Structure 1
């Protein structure tokens, strides 16, 4: 494999590893927000922002951590036949099926960018009492989808290298 492809794979996996490890700390933020909401409900009046903020944090956790989970092999896979195949057969099937995932993610990113542009242009807010701006969470969504696309291309390069007899 060309050196720039090897460097690309290593760079993408380093970036996704870093983002994934940082996303893990969002669980502490989530616990803090939910704890504050529970204390506020019990002690005085409920805080209107805690439920929506918890939803935003969970969405950010899943979107940013998705590429990391994929990189670590934590993604769910139908293992009925896959576990019985040889490494080269697995690499060949993965190299073919990854295109469906990349297509899906590109369409998702396209819609996400369009939705983010709308949110930024018109100052879109979520309905409800708190009415937070939607642009920040949509930007996080687009970043997460981009990281997934990068990880998928890195997997594709790894699978092609494996099929050629050269592990990365």
Structure 2
């Protein structure tokens, strides 16, 4: 059983790390789009697609990198009491509170999948002047949420094993 848990945690963390490392470079794409937007507004006719594309890239950046950020402990934590606790108490609290995150991510994924299916079936488009199809960004959002859900479960397993004295 421990070998299966170890395999799951290592596989999920490797996948989240790989996706997160590749996703980090989306910031350069977003910078390029915003730079083009600034130049086009200053010297040429303003492009109608740059602002919305930058928003889509930012959504992909945040959601696809969420699992990797969680793995690195990069999410914000309320440190009013947490910093003074022992490692064991922190692990107990983390293993309990992560259940709320997992429940939230499951509901978010459920809604995201339903919204993605709707966007695909009905050809949903944005209400902006550019009017891009919404399905691609909604699918990317679902992938990011799913990766973060897998990473949250892996973190929970790691915390439970740490409480039992098992090193993964």
Distance 1:109 1:93 in 2: 24
Matched with 1:90 is 90
| Unmatched segments (≥5 aa) in structure 1 | none
After superposition, the C-alpha distances for 1:10-59 in whole angstroms (9 at most, x for unaligned) are 01001001111111100010011011111111111000000000000001
**TM-score, L = length of structure 2:** 0.97
**1:5-154 to 2 correspondences below 5 Å:** 5-154=5-154
* SS of residue matched to 1:97: helix
1:156 aligned residue? 156
Tell me the number of residue pairs that the alignment of Structure 1 and Structure 2 aligns.
168
- What displacement does 1:82 show? 1.2
Deviation >4 Å, runs of 4+? none
How far off is 1:159 after superposition? 0.6
Given the two structures, how large is their TM-score scaled by the length of structure 1? Answer: 0.97
Unaligned runs of 5+ residues in structure 2 are: none
**Any idea what SS the aligned residue of 1:4 has?**
helix
How far the C-alpha of 1:4 sits from its partner, in A, is: 0.9
Task: Tell me the alpha carbon deviations over residues 71-129 of structure 1, each in whole angstroms, 9 at most, x when there is no partner.
Answer: 11110001111112222211111111111110011001000000000000000000111
